A and B are shown apart, each in its own frame.
Chain A
Amino acid sequence: MTEAKKLDKEQVKQAVKRRKQVTYAPVQPEEQLGFVHNNVDCIGCRACEIACKDKNGLAAGPRFRRVQYIEGGTYPEVYAYKVNMSCNHCAEPACLPTCPTGAIWKRADNGVVDIDSTLCIGCRRCEAACPFGAPQFDPSDGLVKKCNMCIDELEAGRKPYCVMACMMRVLDIGPIDEIRSGEYDTKAIGPGEETTRRVKGLANPDLTNPSIAFIPHSKGKVD
């Protein structure tokens, strides 16, 4: 059995050597969908988180969507706002090239970074590589899982569960280019508001070019 294992690996390496060594070339989708979140108007009810857990059958641990409370200041200048993220379906996802089994891939039609957890061996490299904490390890079965933007809902012409559950309409999806340029018609962006790629505390978006835009709180703006 041990010999067979070595032989298999050697065959893979020989096959690889015959081809030119290249790095991962990111998929260029026809259209890149992305999220927009209004940090100011979000009330932090976490309905989006619960809807996500309901849709994906998640127990208490793994959180595909995470509403993060940012609070600070000293009286009288105190502040509180929320930053809400799931998978950001990056233009150049870091999780994808780390996966040894091809369980993660990027869709060419809408840019969704999808995962088939039945191919996962639980090495957790993707979890470490993602700058935004999207891949979630599920201790109940030792597999990594993550948001796929409710791809089944998208294919049925509907929006993801998190977006549909947002009572304040501060979370939405759409073509990320239109969201960033302000052309996209959404309740998440109020009159006169402009989106940003980065808010305080967020990992550098240049790492992977995440498909998310924020309406930042005044205390969350990056200078």
Chain B
Amino acid sequence: MKNIAKTFALIIAVLCTPFVQAADTGKFGNLDYERARWHPIHFQPAINEATNEDCLTCHQDILQRKVKEQSPAGVKASESLAWYQTLGVYEGEQETFHARHLTTPIAKDLMNLQCNFCHQGNDPREEAPNNLDTNASGFTLRKMVDPEETCLRCHGRHNSEIMGIPGSWPDTKAMFGNSCTMACHVAIRTNRHQVSYLNADAIEKAAAEDPDTCYGCHGGRQWYRITYPYPRHTWPGDSGVVPAWAKDRPTESEERFRLK
């Protein structure tokens, strides 16, 4: 019986071999691993035009992989919450990092993240960014993205000091009726989230229902100890006076994220 199973496995392996060596990657043709690795889509400027579908043609495993139901020591995923997952707007079971940012309902509702929002390409020859490369290499000495230009936008510290509120948002939110949009931001910085990687209208709607939506991305999901220097767009009633903390901030979003 064992021999039959072994023979069957061998036949399957032999039949599948051509697909392993050169997968049919749709519009990219039949590429083996090395050829695919050097495809222009992995480099600037072509990567800027890559769609999620293009990337997922080969990298679909990032969405197929699931978290374990339980850890080797028996900790159940269904009973676990990270620090920031106690926010009211966190929902659903534990998911992998990529699924949480691309396919969960809240991600699809509030964001429009594309693979190339984070992945700006890198040269497979270089283990580290070339010091003489004057182009924005978009990766650091660690991996293929620069967290300061990607993750920090929504995983930075809540900058309560510059807002003139007496303490951190969790400490003071009751004082402001537990609402960012009603308390101050009904008039201040009203030109918000007008970028291609966010769904501005959906964010406004969700924020009106639950202020944790605002806090979630502005401190509630803090990974890092600094804040992201968001562009300082003007708003109706803006005095035009630039405070010291905003002196070097841009007044427009980056070109690649502007709404056309």
Are B141 and A97 in contact, CB atoms less than 8 angstroms apart? no
Query: Which residues on the B side are within 8 Å of A133 (C-beta)?
Result: 141-143
Task: Provide the bound-state CA to CA distance between A23 and B219, in Å.
Answer: 8
Cβ-based interface call for B220 (8 A): yes
Query: Which residues on the A side are within 8 Å of B79 (C-beta)?
Result: 8-9, 12
Chain A residues 99 to 137 lying within 8 A of chain B, measured CB to CB, are 99-101, 103, 116-125, 127-133
In the complex, which of the residues A70, A100, A118, A202 contacts B94, with contact meaning CB atoms closer than 8 Å?
Answer: A100
Stretch among B6-14, B123-131, B249-257 lining the A interface: B123-131
Are B140 and A203 in contact, CB atoms less than 8 angstroms apart? yes
Q: A205: shortest Cβ distance to chain B, in Å?
A: 10
Q: How large is the interface on B (under 10, 10 to 19, 20 to 34, 35 or more residues)?
A: 35 or more
Task: Provide the bound-state CA to CA distance between A122 and B77, in Å.
Answer: 10
15 A-B contact pairs sorted by A residue (CB < 8 Å): A23-B170, A97-B82, A98-B82, A122-B67, A128-B97, A129-B223, A131-B224, A142-B68, A200-B129, A203-B140, A203-B141, A203-B142, A203-B146, A204-B226, A208-B224
Residue picked from A119, A131, A199, most chain B C-beta under 10 Å: A131
The secondary structure that dominates the B interface is: loop
Q: B166: shortest Cβ distance to chain A, in Å?
A: 16
The secondary structure that dominates the A interface is: loop
Are A207 and B226 in contact, CB atoms less than 8 angstroms apart? yes
Stretch among A14-22, A50-58, A158-166, A172-180 lining the B interface: A14-22
Query: Which residues on the A side are within 8 Å of B94 (C-beta)?
Result: 100, 121, 123
Query: Which residues on the A side are within 8 Å of B226 (C-beta)?
Result: 204, 206-207
Are B147 and A203 in contact, CB atoms less than 8 angstroms apart? yes
Q: Which residue of A lies closest to B79 (CB)?
A: A8
Query: Which residues on the A side are within 8 Å of B100 (C-beta)?
Result: 125
Chain B residues 52 to 78 lying within 8 A of chain A, measured CB to CB, are 67-73, 75, 77-78
Q: Which 4 A-B pairs have the closest CB atoms?
A: A133-B142, A118-B73, A100-B82, A94-B223
